[in-house]
Amino acid sequence: MLMRRLLVSVALLSLSTPLWAKKVDLDYHVRFLPETEQAEVRLVLEDGTRVKSLDFDLGTLGAYSDFSADGEWTQSSPERGIWTPAKGEATLTYRVRINHERIPGRFDARITDDWALLRGDDLVPSAKLKQEDFTVLVSRLHFTLPKGWKAVETGWPRIGKNKFRIDNPQRKFDRPTGWMVAGKIGTRRAKLGETDVAIAAPVGEGMRRMDVMTLLTFIWPHAQEVFPRDPAKLLIVGAGDPMWRGGLSATNSYYMHTDRPLVSENGTSSLVHELVHVFSRIRARDRSDWITEGLAEYYAIELMRRAGGLSEERYQKIREDLIRWSKPVDSLRTDRSTGPVTARAVLLLQELDREIRQATKSTTQPRSLDDVTRGLMRLDKATTQDFIEISENVMGGASDVLDNKLLR
């Protein structure tokens, strides 16, 4: 039966990407321009006859300018631009403003004379791709660094000096998403499980690379038990003020402000919280952000506990703090989970985990909240109703914990 499922999977894969599909190179060339706080981006398409058009979402910030194209470039509005490539090799070139303040005075993308830290999502905006049938774009990312800049790091596999392979099987249009850092940087590397982990930050920004790697080494086996994913590579980047004083996850990567403690006084860890986001990729809809943020914070505590970093006494103290902090919360249903709401979600998840373990302890296959989490990972976006249905299916019956006005 297992062999049959494997053969069916192989057959479906061959149908989705035929062996006779035409492979077309798409190379992204990035040149940082610190003097203007910009980057120049050049897309080089090997064969423009295979791509009918790329319809780019340019956003509302006016960050993109100076477009030049082989073929036709049209903008029906400042927010959208369509490239119809010329036949043969075709190039699209533009500039993008890098510096961006998430809130006044705090940046989530920044370029200085010595380094740049940003998300590749902003270098190449998302686009709707129309192409000839049986066409597969083979994407690579190349960097040309300013004089004195030493290196560049991304969350994608390196295939040469300042060169990376971009491959996302879930998308037709592969673009260089995720965090990246370039310039005068320092990097600590290790192999954890099947994943190449890199911790990179500009020199002098106070990134505790070895501390971060040590904590990840303790946590990693326990994270792998929960999340059945082994990314080929994980990049963690960081910098100090005036960068955003928090953590932000993205594709194959995440950012941490260098002043954030690895483990906070309340016993949680922003480092592990963001790791859970990267591993789980659980997203929510229908006012259910409590699922995404609650699970990330739940495992930020739980994985520390399983790794031996929290005693039972400390764990109970954390619960007492969560109870006090979340006391005013009367509903978890919101589009954006705040600190007290997330704290109350963690308490509910802890209670649900105990309920599931108690209900299934005498069965041939005892279950836990981990099984619910793995079920949620299969969904594109989860709702509160999805969460309840998966939990009760795992438990084998109705849940008293989830029969709760907080979820209505």
> Would you say residue 309 lies in a domain?
yes
> Would you say residue 16 lies in a domain?
no
Q: Are residues 94 and 186 in the same domain?
A: yes
Please confirm whether the linkage preceding 242 is cis (ω < 30° from 0). Answer: yes
Q: How many domains is the chain built from?
A: 2
Q: Decide: pTM greater than 0.95.
A: no
> Would you say residue 241 lies in a domain?
no
> Would you say residue 11 lies in a domain?
no
Quick one: pLDDT at residue 12? 42
| Nearest-10 Cα torsion for 274, 219, 201, 155 | -70
Q: Domain holding 386: CATH number?
A: 1.10.390
**Exposure pattern of 192-221 as b/e (b: 16+ CB <10 Å)?**
beebbbbbbbbeebebbbeebbebbeebbe
Q: Are 368 and 357 in contact (CB under 8 A)?
A: yes
Domain range spanning residue 72? 22-206
Q: Are residues 51 and 176 in the same domain?
A: yes
Final residue of a structural domain among 155, 185, 206: 206
Tokens of 293: 């943020």
Per-residue tens of pLDDT for the chain, all 408 residues? 433 344 434 444 444 556 668 999 999 999 999 999 999 999 999 999 999 999 999 999 999 999 999 999 999 899 999 999 999 999 999 999 999 999 999 999 999 999 999 999 999 999 999 999 989 999 999 999 999 999 999 999 999 999 999 998 878 899 999 999 999 999 999 999 999 999 999 999 999 999 999 999 999 999 999 998 888 999 999 999 999 999 999 989 999 999 999 998 888 899 999 999 999 999 999 999 999 999 999 999 999 999 999 999 999 999 999 999 999 999 999 999 999 999 999 999 999 999 999 999 988 999 999 999 999 999 999 999 999 999 999 999 999 999 999 998
> Would you say residue 158 lies in a domain?
yes
Q: Are residues 202 and 338 in the same domain?
A: no
> Would you say residue 263 lies in a domain?
no
Q: Domain holding 128: CATH number?
A: 2.60.40.3650
Quick one: pLDDT at residue 9? 45
d(CA 246, CA 178): 17
> Would you say residue 403 lies in a domain?
yes
d(CA 348, CA 356): 12
The per-residue pLDDT for range 355-400, each reduced to its tens digit, is 999 999 988 999 999 999 999 999 999 999 999 999 999 999 999 9
Final residue of a structural domain among 155, 176, 206: 206
Quick one: pLDDT at residue 168? 85
Quick one: pLDDT at residue 80? 96
Quick one: pLDDT at residue 2? 39
Q: Are 207 and 238 in contact (CB under 8 A)?
A: yes
Q: Are residues 82 and 178 in the same domain?
A: yes
Q: Are residues 199 and 286 in the same domain?
A: no
Question: In 133-257, at which residue ranges do the beta strands (DSSP E only) sit?
Answer: 135-144, 151-154, 158-160, 163-166, 179-183, 185-192, 195-202, 233-239, 247-250, 253-257
> Would you say residue 8 lies in a domain?
no
Q: Which has the closest alpha carbon to 270: 248, 294, 250, 290?
A: 248
Final residue of a structural domain among 206, 238, 257: 206
Number of CB atoms found within 10 A of residue 257's CB: 20
